[in-house]
Amino acid sequence: MKWRASHILVDDKDKAKVILEELEGGADFAKLALEHSSCSSAFKGGDLGWFGPGKMVLQFELATKRLKEVGALSKVVQTQFGFHIIKLTGLR
């Protein structure tokens, strides 16, 4: 199994929760990634491309695996890099 995902990475859990609420209300993911994400992927709307098992840190991979349909959003996920909101953009 391979996944394609985008994410928004911030250093504050409360900020991540506010962003997630905006997304759940219909806000544009790519726009919010560009505005808020500290990851270099922000300039690509948060797109991380395709990855398989073992390519991302464990917490990120597990959260991505739980997303069952393209377009689904994760809850706030904490890793050593900060707080992520993940959007599943592809499965194969």
CATH classification at residue 50: 3.10.50.40
C-alpha–C-alpha distance, residues 46 and 31, integer Å: 9
pLDDT for 13 equals 98
pLDDT for 69 equals 97
C-alpha–C-alpha distance, residues 62 and 86, integer Å: 11
Number of domains the chain contains: 1
Query: Which residues are registered as beta bridge partners of 9?
Result: 84
pLDDT for 87 equals 98
**Is 59 within 8 Å of 40 (Cβ atoms)?**
no
pLDDT band at 4 (very low <50, low <70, confident <90, very high): very high
pLDDT band at 63 (very low <50, low <70, confident <90, very high): very high
- Identify the domain containing residue 84 by its residue range: 3-91
* Per-position DSSP letters for 62-88, written without gaps between them: HHHHH--STT-B---EEETTEEEEEEE
**With a threshold of 0.85, does the pTM exceed it?**
yes
Over residues 26-32, mean pLDDT: 98
